[in-house]
Amino acid sequence: MTCWETIGAYAFRSLGYGERLLPKSDFTLCQQFTLIGSGLIWNIYFGVLALAFGFFLANALALAKTARSAWVRKPAEWFIFVFRGSPLFIQFFLGYQLFVLLPKNGVELWGITVHTDWLTKAWAGALFVLFLNTAAYSAEIFHGALMAVPKGDLEAADAYGITGFARFRRILWPTMLRLGWPAYTNEAIFLFHATTLVFFSSFPAFRQQGDALYYAGYFADKTYNPFIPYPIVGFYFICLTLLLTWAFSLVNRRLNRHLPSNQRARIRLRPQLIR
Amino acid sequence: MFSYCADPSTLDSTRWMLCYLTSGKHLLFYSSFGTVLLLLAVTAPVALAFGFGGAMAARSHNPGLRLFGKGYTAMVRGIPDIIFFMFFVIALDQALEWGLHQWRCPDWVEPIRNGLEFKVCPAAKVPPSSAPQIWHEVYGFALAVVTFAIVFGAFAANVLYGAMNAVPRAQLETAEAYGMSHRQVFRRVLVPQMWVYALPGLSNLWLILIKATPLLFLLGVKDIVYWANELGSSKTDTFAYPHGDWKLWYFLGLLVFYLAFTRLSEIVLSRLSRRLSRGQATMAGEAMRKAAA
Domain boundaries, given as residue ranges, for chain B: 15-292
The residue among A204, A201, A48 whose CA lies nearest residue A131 is A48
**What is the CATH number that goes with domain B15-292?**
1.10.3720.10
Phi then psi for B236, rounded to 5 degrees? -105, -170
With an 8 Å Cβ cutoff, are B211 and A82 in contact? no
pLDDT in tens, B29-88: 888 888 889 889 999 999 999 999 999 998 888 899 999 988 888 887 778 888 888 888
Q: Is residue A17 part of a domain?
A: no
- Measured between alpha carbons, how far is B248 from B254 in angstroms, rounded to an integer? 10
Q: Is residue A5 part of a domain?
A: no
Could you list the mean pLDDT of each consecutive 10-residue stretch along chain A, which spans 275 residues?
78 81 79 88 93 94 91 93 90 87 72 74 88 93 89 90 90 90 88 89 80 88 85 91 90 87 69 51
What's the complex ipTM? 0.83
Q: At residue B8, does pLDDT exceed 70?
A: no
Domain harbouring A137, CATH code: 1.10.3720.10
The pLDDT score that the predictor gives to residue B21 is 76
Within 8 A of A227 by CB-CB distance, chain B residues are 91
Q: At residue B1, does pLDDT exceed 70?
A: no
More confident residue, B229 or B156: B156
Asked if residues A209 and A16 have their Cβ atoms less than 8 Å apart, the reply is yes
pLDDT more than 90, % of chain B: 13
The domain in which residue A159 lies consists of 31-104+113-263
Within 8 A of A200 by CB-CB distance, chain B residues are 82, 218
**Shortest CA gap A92–chain B (Å):** 10
Task: Give the three-state DSSP class for B110.
Answer: coil
With an 8 Å Cβ cutoff, are A93 and B229 in contact? yes
- Measured between alpha carbons, how far is B201 from B54 in angstroms, rounded to an integer? 16
Within 8 A of B155 by CB-CB distance, chain A residues are 271, 273
pLDDT in tens, B172-184: 899 999 999 988 9
Residue of A nearest to B92 (CA): A226
Q: Is residue A182 part of a domain?
A: yes
Phi then psi for A178, rounded to 5 degrees? -65, -45
Residues of B with CB under 8 A from a CB of A: 76-83, 86-87, 90-91, 94, 113, 116-118, 155, 158, 204-205, 208, 211-215, 217-218, 225, 229, 232, 245, 247-248, 251-252, 254-255, 258-259, 262-263
Using CB atoms within 10 A of its CB, is residue B64 exposed (0-12), middle (13-18) or buried (19+)?
A: exposed
Q: Is residue A151 part of a domain?
A: yes
Q: Is residue A268 part of a domain?
A: no
Tell which A residues from 103 to 162 touch B, by Cβ distance under 8 Å.
none
Mean pLDDT for B153-159 is 89
Q: Give the angle subtended at the CA of A18 by the CAs of A15 and A23, to the nearest 5°.
A: 95
Q: Is residue A148 part of a domain?
A: yes
pLDDT in tens, B203-258: 888 888 888 888 888 887 888 888 887 777 776 666 666 677 777 888 898 899 99
With an 8 Å Cβ cutoff, are A82 and B255 in contact? yes
Q: Is residue A211 part of a domain?
A: yes
**Shortest CA gap A204–chain B (Å):** 15
Domain count, chain A: 1
Q: Is residue A139 part of a domain?
A: yes
